[in-house]
Amino acid sequence: MDTTMDIGNHSWLKNLNLDAASIFLLGVTICAFLIPVVLILPPVGLQKSDALIQTHTKAGVEGSKSNLKNQYSAEHAPQTGEPPKVHSLVIYPVKSCKGIELKRSKVFPTGLQFDRIFMFAQLKSPFPVAVDSTDEEKSKHKWEFVTQRQFPRLANVTVDLWLPDEMKLRKQSMKSTEAFVILRFPWKEEGWRGIWSTITAKLARGRAAEPEIEVLLPVDFPSTEDIKERGYTFEDVKIWKETINALNMEKDLPGELQRYLGVSNKLALFRVDPGQLREVYRTAPRKEEAGYQPVTGFQDAFPLHMMNLSSLQAFSSEVPKDDNLKELDVLRFRPNIILSGAEAYDEETWKQIRLKPGSSGFYNDFVFHVSCRTVRCKMPNVDPATGVRHPTEPDKSLRSKRAVDEGAPLSGCLGMQLTPLFDPSLGEDREGWIAVGMTVEVEQRGQHVYIKQ
């Protein structure tokens, strides 16, 4: 095309007496000016986390400071004259999604604070429901919890916990005690929208960033007014063989999440109702022993799960490795308390332990009833870093090497389930603290026999 002729069609350019070379130079100059501006102030819409950072602080240990980077170090072996210690703490605010590593945590009868307060579920039914279906037919449609066992991409759903920061709030002349959870999952639209979202993500968060969608959730259980206003409903949801009534918050879920996870049924997010917890029996301490009836929310069976790194190392040495499984990350097993310095599998003889201050900086003790072994399902086959499921391991090795409990002779076991015990002087205000660096004193030992649901 004749550039000069094209310029002639635009009178405003003609009046500037610009030739093709001048226009090219002008374009280069404009780009040279705009590119640094875009890099410094990218044209990216604010995310929910960008707003929260003004008044809240994200909970958890930064990846570079994680205690879980050296899981296979020899330092986790027992040391002569030294008791085992708490090496790391992890919570999972949304069941089966990524966890948050902590240095310290409050403990309630339900377990660690903020642990498994949300859970995904799908609506399962044997047949479609018509408008004129009977109540009996409708009752066969049940909400059932979902985990990485069915939908391994849940491992790629990142969970951030934002806690109110008093100093930040003071600067903003604000007051708030409300905490929030933000779910983040990868999502890229097709076509030019996907290209644009990729560019803006990298401009905002760095070269390695990918586009994602955020979902903001309040941590506090909503008031009756909020429940009505937001269209939430109370519904029964099944966890393994038990059913619990909880708050259905599916209104807050974007449709993209269901498509990302690959869920074909209706997907919902449930919030545990503090007034409708599941009572725990089986091998948990009795009410007379604990001073209260043990309870749990969305945990599988017991309030807390404990893992020993020496046991992980010993078991991992027996698991065949390949290109898709080079090392077993302890996070595959979803522990809350991770120990260092204990003999491999010694925890399977513990019946009651006391966590003592050690190097934690705390001055209090905390006692746990060691309730039973953790009987493993196939979920540890999913790599928590990638959301990719291995076809056989470690499930195959668990069943062949770790079928050690006569109560579950066909299943592998790794880890122990805990029930918190509180000082009777606390009355109904049952809470305490535990932290990394606390040492383990074994107060009672004995045999464990698993009792099925």
DSSP string, 386-416: T-PBPSSTTHHHHHHH----TTSTTS-EEEE
Domain check: are 20 and 69 in the same one? no
Domain check: are 21 and 116 in the same one? no
pLDDT at residue 236, rounded to an integer:
97
DSSP state, residue 97? S
Domain membership flag for residue 453: no
Domain membership flag for residue 116: yes
Reference 176, options 188, 163, 157, 192; nearest CA is 163
Domain check: are 250 and 306 in the same one? yes
pLDDT at residue 171, rounded to an integer:
80
Domain check: are 81 and 149 in the same one? yes
Domain membership flag for residue 337: yes
The two tokens of residue 80 are: 């002569």
Domain check: are 22 and 99 in the same one? no
Structural domain that includes position 405: 56-445
Domain check: are 302 and 406 in the same one? yes
Domain membership flag for residue 47: no
Q: Is the peptide bond before 384 cis (omega within 30 degrees of 0)?
A: no
pLDDT at residue 410, rounded to an integer:
95
Domain membership flag for residue 450: no
Domain check: are 407 and 296 in the same one? yes
Domain check: are 232 and 112 in the same one? yes
Which of helix, strand or coil describes residue 200? helix
Three-class secondary structure assignment of 42-67 = CCCCCCHHHHHCCCEEECCCCHHHCC
CB 433 within 8 A of CB 367: no
pLDDT at residue 324, rounded to an integer:
92
Q: Report the C-alpha gap between 24 and 321 in whole angstroms.
A: 58
Domain membership flag for residue 376: yes
Domain check: are 22 and 161 in the same one? no
DSSP result, 314-362: HHHTTS--BTTBS---GGGG--SEEEESPPTTGGGGEEEEEEE-TTSS-
pLDDT at residue 333, rounded to an integer:
98
Backbone phi, psi, residue 112, to 5° = -70, 145
Residue 441 Cα distances to 108, 235, 357, 394, 423, angstroms: 21, 42, 11, 31, 17
Predicted confidence (pLDDT) per residue in 78-135, tens digit: 999 999 999 999 999 999 999 999 999 999 999 999 999 999 999 987 665 554 555 5
Domain check: are 95 and 25 in the same one? no
Domain check: are 171 and 62 in the same one? yes
What residue ranges of the chain have pLDDT lower than 50? 1-8, 10-13, 37, 41, 131
Q: What's the full length of the chain, in residues?
A: 453
Number of domains in the chain: 2
Give burial (CB, 10 Å; 0-12/13-18/19+) of 187.
Answer: middle
Domain membership flag for residue 401: yes
Domain membership flag for residue 49: no
Domain check: are 31 and 63 in the same one? no
Residue 341 Cα distances to 5, 344, 434, angstroms: 81, 9, 17
CB 404 within 8 A of CB 373: yes
